[in-house]
Structure 1
Amino acid sequence: MQITLIAIGKTDNAQLGQLIALYEKRLKHYIRFEFNIIPDIKNSKNLSEDQQKQKEGELILSQMKPSDILILLDEKGKQFSSVEFAQFLQKKMNSGIKNLVLAIGGPYGFSQTIYERSNGKVSLSKMTFSHQMVRLFVVEQLYRAFTILRNEPYHHQ
């Protein structure tokens, strides 16, 4: 299985970028991982929230194959403990999925088209985080999940 993380807009904080890169590198020891950054929508100030979500949704869909399983990182999604998230990933791997796509939406979330295409939603917290921080949290939790699955000492319980 491959895991692809899709996010809208680049990370403009160099320190966050370094931490994301650190966990990306660690994660690649366990699974094929790809991080696709979709550039910010140009002239987004001239667009309504719905128009911006629609354009971002089209760009997300353009990155995907029909067989990809799409999981949205969404505040209304299912919340997991780290161990439960590891079990969720194990079930996905056991089911024979080729590519699990995790998507981080833009500032206004996802378009209705993306919700309809998705195969599920995961919430990192009831709290709201910046899109920059969510990237770091996701790659760290993916890394943590694989260390849990391998019984490695990174995660303490």
Structure 2
Amino acid sequence: MKTTLLVVGRTVEKHFITAIDDYIQRTKYFLSFDMEVIPELKNTKNLSMDQQKEKEGELILKALQPGDVIVLLDEHGKEMRSIEFADYMKRKMNTVNKRLVFIIGGPYGFSEKVYQAAHEKISMSKMTFSHQMIRLIFVEQVYRAMTILNGGPYHHE
């Protein structure tokens, strides 16, 4: 199984880029994992929030492949503890044949078409985080899940 984190817009803060890259490299020891960036929209000042979500949604859907299992990182999704997320990843590793694609949308969330294409939604927290920060939090949790599944010393109860 190949796992992809699909994000809208590049990460701009250097300290986030460094940390995200570090966790992605660590995770690759256990799992085929990468992050794909959909370029942010240009000239959004003339677009309404819904128009921006629609245009980003079209780009997200274009980046998907047949057979992808699509999981949105969304505030209305299911919350899990790290151990539960590790079990979730184990189940996915045993059942997903192609790509498991986690998606972080743009600043206004997802279009209705993206919601319709999704198989599941996961919430990282009841709190709100910047799109830059949630990328780091998510890749750290994927790495944590892999260390839990492989008996590594990274996670402590």
* TM-score in same-fold range (> 0.5): yes
Alignment partner, residue 53 of structure 2: 53
The Cα of 1:98 is off from its aligned counterpart by 1.5
- CA shift for structure 1 position 107: 0.3
C-alpha distance in 2 between matches for 1:45 and 1:89: 39
Structure 2 gaps, min length 5: none
Identity of aligned residues (%): 52
Instruction: Give me the whole-angstrom Cα distance separating, in 1, the residues matched to 2:3 and 2:51.
Output: 28
2-side partners of 1:97 and 1:123: how far apart? 24
Give 1:11 shift. 1.0
Please list, as runs of the form range in 1=range in 2, the aligned pairs for 1:28-47 lying within 5 A after superposition. 28-47=28-47
Extract unaligned runs of 5+ from structure 1: none
Give the length in aligned residue pairs.
157
Deviation at 1:93, TM superposition (A): 1.1
The 3-state SS of whatever aligns with 1:71 is strand
Q: What CA distance in whole angstroms lies between the structure 1 residues aligned with 2:79 and 2:115?
A: 17
Asked if the contact 2:69/2:96 (under 8 Å) is kept, the reply is no
Partner of 2:88, secondary structure, is helix
Correspondence 1:119 to 2:119: yes
> Which of structure 1's runs of 4+ aligned residues deviate more than 4 A?
none
Secondary structure of the structure 1 residue equivalent to 2:101: strand
Aligned partner of 2:17 in structure 1 is: 17
Equivalent residue number for residue 80 of structure 1: 80
| Gap change, CA 1:24 and 1:44, over 3 Å in 2 | same
SS at match of 2:10: coil
Amino acid at match of 1:31: L
Which residues of 2 match residues 59-78 of structure 1 at below 5 A? 59-78=59-78
TM-superposed deviation, 1:12: 1.0
Structure-1 residue corresponding to 2:149: 149
1:85-107: CA deviation from partner (whole Å, max 9, x where unpaired):
01001111111431000000100
Equivalent position SS for 2:122? strand
Question: TM-score normalized by structure 2?
Answer: 0.98
Report the Cα distance in structure 1 between the residues aligned to 2:23 and 2:110, rounded to whole angstroms: 26
| TM-score, scaled to structure 1 | 0.98
